[in-house]
């Protein structure tokens, strides 16, 4: 059993979430539930990119986050263009 996970939503994440299609918003919520209950869930496909982490919302959308122990700070969510731009900023 994984220890208690705390999820934190940044303002950037909240703004990027609002711009997602409704179907992707639902998928995102589902993936966040997996992240809370089982961060090793295979559908998340969590992996490290530079200093941050990434999980799959679906095949076209990703969420970047930062980890501090069991605290997962969700930074942004979006398609490949947003993700590419985010990676360049870091």
Question: pLDDT per residue over 47-79, tens digit each?
Answer: 998 888 999 999 999 999 999 999 999 999 999
> Quick one: pLDDT at residue 43?
97
> Quick one: pLDDT at residue 1?
43
> Quick one: pLDDT at residue 80?
78
- How far, in Å, CA of 21 to CA of 17, rounded? 9
Per the listing, tokens 């918003």 go with 25
All structural domains of the chain, each given as residue ranges with its CATH number in brackets, are 6-89 (3.30.2310.20)
Burial of 31: CB neighbours in 10 Å, binned 0-12, 13-18, 19+: buried
Q: Which two tokens stand for residue 43?
A: 């559908």
What digits encode the pLDDT tens for the residues 1-41? 456 899 999 999 999 999 999 999 999 999 999 999 999 99
């Amino acid at each position: 059993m994984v220890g208690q996970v705390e999820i934190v939503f940044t303002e950037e994440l909240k703004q990027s979430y609002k711009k997602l299609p409704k179907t992707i918003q639902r998928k995102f919520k589902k993936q966040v539930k997996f992240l809370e209950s089982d961060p090793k869930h295979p559908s998340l496909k969590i992996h490290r990119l530079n200093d941050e982490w990434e999980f799959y919302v679906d095949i076209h959308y990703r969420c970047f986050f930062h980890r501090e122990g069991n605290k997962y700070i969700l930074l942004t969510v979006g398609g490949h263009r947003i993700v590419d731009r985010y990676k360049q900023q870091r």
